[in-house]
Amino acid sequence: MSDGEPSDSAPQAPTARERNRAEVMAQVMAAGRRELAEHGADGLSLRAVAREIGMVSSAVYRYVASRDELLTLLIIESYNAVGLAAERASATEGTAAERFVAIASAVRDWAREHPQEYALLHGSPVPGYRAPQVTVIPGIRVPTAMLALLIEEYAAGRVSAPPEGEDPPVSPELSRQLDVVRDHFDVDVPDDVLLRGMSAWTQVYGLISFELFGQFANTFEPADDFMGYQFSLAATRVGIA
């Protein structure tokens, strides 16, 4: 084959039809985000999305089959966005504790910039909607980033154990559940270490949810210093420094 001939393995340029479909899908997603911001997940409507992009409602169904499919696409997009923010924060320079705080702060920053998307992921369930399995992998990007940091430190012998008797005993049922978590995230750490990591993850999301949903009104406003303190405290309780 001469140098001027295209290789069979070279990527093919998208066809005009594929480019058009991608453009319409981008418009649908952008309109979906705007509808989500204005009306919330409960009020999301494909008819409204179609009107906004100047398309008859019957035509939009060629791109998105239902409101639930659009919700799923928005959920996956949001999980991937916040997951990417967490992964980038984890890759920054600093101690393990500083990197943990950076991950938590990146999630908080994303949530404050995208409150409706955060509410879609972590707010009240949308009536009649059940997230499909395809959302699971994007959905665990943030906890995976946190647990990867913990596992890295544990493997290097840098996770400090709590004082003797400080942690409550782990019941057989809880230990069984932790086995499920270990399998799910493909990690191999003791119960007490994994529990501290899971506690830190849920603490971070609890704090962010409290802030976004107005539970700190008339107390921690602005909440920057409080959140920074709590994120650092979570890292300390995990046993990383």
Q: Are residues 88 and 195 in the same domain?
A: yes
Are the C-beta atoms of 189 and 150 separated by less than 8 Å?
Answer: yes
For the chain, the domain total comes to 2
Task: For residue 57, give the CATH number of its domain.
Answer: 1.10.10.60
Task: Categorize the per-residue pLDDT at 3 as very low, low, confident or very high, splitting at 50, 70 and 90.
Answer: low
Q: How far is CA 38 from the centre of its chain?
A: 22
pLDDT in tens, 96-134: 999 999 999 999 999 999 999 999 999 999 999 999 999
Would you say the C-alpha torsion 183, 189, 155, 232 has a positive or negative sign?
A: positive
The type of residue at 97 is A
Element (H, E) at 24: helix 16-39
- Cβ-defined contacts of 48-57 (< 8 Å, 24+): 53/24, 53/27, 53/28, 55/24
Task: For residue 174, give the CATH number of its domain.
Answer: 1.10.357.10
Q: Are residues 222 and 117 in the same domain?
A: yes
Residue 213 tokens read as: 């949903």
Last residue in a domain, options 43, 65, 87: 65
pLDDT in tens, 34-89: 999 999 999 999 999 999 999 998 999 999 999 999 999 999 999 999 999 999 99
- pTM summary value: 0.90
pLDDT in tens, 212-221: 999 999 999 9
Q: Are residues 89 and 134 in the same domain?
A: yes
Task: Categorize the per-residue pLDDT at 186 as very low, low, confident or very high, splitting at 50, 70 and 90.
Answer: confident
Residue 56 tokens read as: 């008859």
Determine what percent of the chain is predicted with pLDDT higher than 70.
Answer: 95
Q: What is the pLDDT of residue 167?
A: 83
Q: How far is CA 8 from the centre of its chain?
A: 38
**Is 158 a member of any domain?**
yes
Q: Are residues 170 and 153 in the same domain?
A: yes
Residue 201 tokens read as: 């993850």
Q: For residue 129, how many other CB atoms are within 10 A of its CB?
A: 15
Structural domain containing residue 223: 74-238
